[in-house]
């Protein structure tokens, strides 16, 4: 066993056996960890060998179904990765304009390599959108929100960049079982951090509702669906 593997095992023992408190990281440390993680998986993210990232594909049909309920012209995919959702949307709605935003340059490179018509891809922070006010009438965010150290910054950006009447469709892993959420936040995620994943916290209804309240956004729908998935629709008045 390599030395770094011994270090990881030692940290696991401290967390699980000795019940040591989770070491907090700064916002920038979480972001650097996420960039490192997704740089390593960028080329295989959409393959049949994507490992845990394959579960993200389960969210695509329900996002598409939600988008079909209202027309849109300009859509932002926050945390777009290599643009699997924009690829599907551009095929279904080729006359719309799409923007993908991701913190990891390698993901944006993969997205740009697809040469999707009417789409642009930007390296940037989903806690501080690099776009003008009222730029989009739809924003989607799928399995990315739990990587954001500053969730309020994300919703403030959504409020600023959505047009009046525009909506956010948010999907992420969650649970209504408070014990399970505690175990995920205090055992699973710290172990994930040690293994190189940039997960920050488990997304909860309470977090989303409070952030939307502070940002001045209206929560129209927030449900826990199959597979421990939060399905949330938020609108700007």
Query: Could you tell me if 132 and 163 are in contact, meaning their C-beta atoms sit under 8 angstroms apart?
Result: no
Q: Is 191 exposed, middle or buried (0-12, 13-18, 19+ CB in 10 A)?
A: middle
d(CA 91, CA 118): 11
Residue 53 in this model has a pLDDT that exceeds 90: no
**24 contacts: CB under 8 Å, gap ≥ 6:** none
Token pair in block for residue 2: 């390599």
Class of domain 25-235: alpha beta
Q: Looking at residue 51, what is its pLDDT?
A: 62
Enclosing H/E stretch for 236 = none
Average pLDDT of span 178-195: 86
Average pLDDT of span 27-42: 93
The percentage of residues in the chain with a pLDDT greater than 90, rounded to a whole number, is 69
**68 contacts: CB under 8 Å, gap ≥ 6:** none
Residue 178 in this model has a pLDDT that exceeds 50: yes
CA 31 to chain centre: 12
pLDDT tens-digit readout, 73-104: 999 999 999 999 999 999 999 999 999 999 99
Query: Could you tell me if 30 and 198 are in contact, meaning their C-beta atoms sit under 8 angstroms apart?
Result: yes
3-class SS of residue 171:
strand
192 pLDDT band, cuts 50/70/90, is: confident
pLDDT tens-digit readout, 110-168: 999 999 999 999 999 999 999 999 999 999 999 999 999 999 999 999 999 999 999 99
Q: Running DSSP on this structure, what letter comes out for residue 59? A: G
Query: Could you tell me if 230 and 174 are in contact, meaning their C-beta atoms sit under 8 angstroms apart?
Result: yes
**108 contacts: CB under 8 Å, gap ≥ 6:** 80, 100, 102, 121, 122, 123
d(CA 132, CA 135): 6
pTM over 0.75: yes
23 pLDDT band, cuts 50/70/90, is: low
């Amino acid at each position: 066993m390599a030395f770094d593997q011994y270090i990881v095992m030692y940290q696991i023992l401290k967390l699980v056996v000795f019940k040591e408190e989770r070491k907090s990281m700064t916002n920038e440390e979480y972001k650097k960890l996420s960039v490192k993680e997704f740089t390593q998986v960028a080329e295989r993210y959409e393959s049949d060998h994507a490992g845990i990232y394959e579960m993200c594909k389960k969210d695509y049909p329900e996002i598409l179904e939600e988008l079909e309920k209202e027309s849109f012209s300009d859509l932002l995919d926050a945390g777009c990765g290599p643009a699997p959702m924009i690829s599907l949307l551009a095929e279904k709605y080729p006359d719309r304009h799409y923007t993908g935003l991701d913190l990891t340059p390698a993901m944006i490179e993969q997205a740009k390599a697809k040469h999707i018509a009417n789409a642009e891809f930007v390296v940037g922070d989903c806690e501080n959108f690099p776009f003008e006010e009222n730029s989009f009438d739809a924003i989607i965010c799928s399995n990315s929100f739990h990587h954001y150290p500053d969730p309020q910054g994300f919703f403030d950006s959504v409020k600023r960049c959505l047009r009046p009447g525009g909506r956010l469709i948010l999907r992420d892993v969650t649970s209504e079982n408070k014990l399970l959420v505690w175990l995920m936040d205090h055992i699973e995620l710290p172990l994930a951090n040690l293994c190189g994943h940039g997960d920050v916290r488990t997304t909860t209804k309470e977090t989303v509702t409070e952030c939307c309240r502070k940002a001045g956004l209206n929560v129209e729908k927030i449900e826990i669906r199959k597979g421990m998935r939060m399905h949330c629709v938020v609108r700007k008045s």
